[in-house]
Amino acid sequence: MMFPHPDIERVLISTDEIQSRIAELGRQITADYRGETVVLVCILKGAFLFMADLCRHIDLPVNTEFMAISSYGHATKSSGVVRILKDLNESIEDRNVLIVEDIVDTGLTLSYLIDLLSARHPKSMKVCSLCSKPQCHKRVVKVDYCGFELPSEFAVGYGLDFKDYYRNLPFIGVLKPSAYEQEE
């Protein structure tokens, strides 16, 4: 069997599995916020595909905001240094905020982000992440809605990237080490 991309070692999560799980998450979020409005804060660039699909499955009034944060640069592991590249355009004070992430790896970026946004006095704040690698967490962070747990391999696709490539793959797969080892 040929893999769907020459740089992918194996597929971890298929397109159908991703879409089915996103629909489930949307139903759960709708139920949990019934009668409320929610601000979805998309963490760019990785979460943009996930949030686009997720918000279509949330049957509530939603606002969308975007933040760009970096702790990876072009590496395969988090540097632990978080930089805000783009901040929110609107205030989140007294609003229900749902942070939408592509992946929680070390938890350092998300922990920083939660502290930063908490200081802006939202009514409530929760986290929805497409993927998590709990075995890699260096900080305890609560992920209220998690799509999938991944092994500690380097995964790409459906928003997850290496050097800004592979985000457009409609599935999540393990990147072959040969695709990144020479880069490090």
Q: Which of 53, 102, 105, 161 is catalytic?
A: 105
Contact 11, 173 (CB under 8 A): yes
pLDDT tens digits along 67-89: 998 765 555 555 567 788 999 99
Q: Which fold does the domain 15-155 belong to in CATH?
A: Rossmann fold (3.40.50)
Contact 13, 171 (CB under 8 A): yes
The reported pLDDT for the residue numbered 13 is 96
Strand partners, 175: 8
Q: Which tokens belong to 79?
A: 């540097």
The reported pLDDT for the residue numbered 127 is 97
Active site residue 105: yes
Q: Domain limits of the chain?
A: 15-155
| CA angle centred on 135, ends 49 and 158, rounded to 5° | 15
The reported pLDDT for the residue numbered 135 is 79
pLDDT tens digits along 154-174: 999 999 999 999 999 999 999
Q: Which tokens belong to 5?
A: 């991309």
Nearest-angstrom CA–CA distance, 145 and 142 = 9
The reported pLDDT for the residue numbered 105 is 87
Nearest-angstrom CA–CA distance, 177 and 112 = 29
pTM of this prediction exceeds 0.75: yes
**Of residues 52, 2, 54, 10, the one with CA closest to residue 28:** 54
**Of residues 177, 162, 168, the one with CA closest to residue 73:** 162
Q: Is the pLDDT of residue 42 over 70?
A: yes
pLDDT tens digits along 90-146: 999 999 999 999 999 888 889 999 999 999 999 999 999 999 998 777 778 899 999
**Of residues 92, 147, 94, the one with CA closest to residue 116:** 92
pLDDT tens digits along 14-33: 999 999 999 999 999 999 99
Res. 2 pLDDT band, cuts 50 70 90: very low
Nearest-angstrom CA–CA distance, 82 and 24 = 31
